[in-house]
Amino acid sequence: MRPARFVTLCFLYSGVVLLTQYLIVHRFALGLGGLARLGVALSVFGVGLIRLRSPEIEADNPAEFGAFAYGMAALSVLLTLIFLAQLWLA
């Protein structure tokens, strides 16, 4: 898999996890925390959609994505763990 595609999938996955977290944990709350989480979720998911629609903009050189791809993978795993912990504690 190309690193650019992997990073795009990480953006989409993280956006879905954050949106699900907003829906389950905040239950459509319109407070400051809920709206901030919803805004971040939609922004991250939107970036993933933009990257998915314009793959020719991304460079194909894997050296340019090294730390960024690892960071996105770590972010995706961390968001999943936080979400599962919130479900378990709730």
Residues 6-28: what's their mean pLDDT? 90
pTM, to two decimals: 0.83
90 pLDDT more than 80 = no
CA pair distance 49, 10, nearest whole angstrom: 11
| 22: nearest Cα among 3, 8, 43 | 43
Q: Residue 42's pLDDT is what?
A: 94
70 pLDDT more than 80 = yes
85 φψ region: left (φ > 0), alpha (ψ -120 to 50), beta (else): alpha
Residues 12-26: what's their mean pLDDT? 91
Q: How confident is the model at residue 84 (pLDDT cuts 50, 70, 90)?
A: very high
Q: Encoding tokens for residue 45?
A: 């998911």
Q: How confident is the model at residue 63 (pLDDT cuts 50, 70, 90)?
A: low
Q: Residue 65's pLDDT is what?
A: 73
- Which residue's structure tokens are 């954050």? 18
Q: How many residues does the chain have?
A: 90
CA pair distance 78, 7, nearest whole angstrom: 15
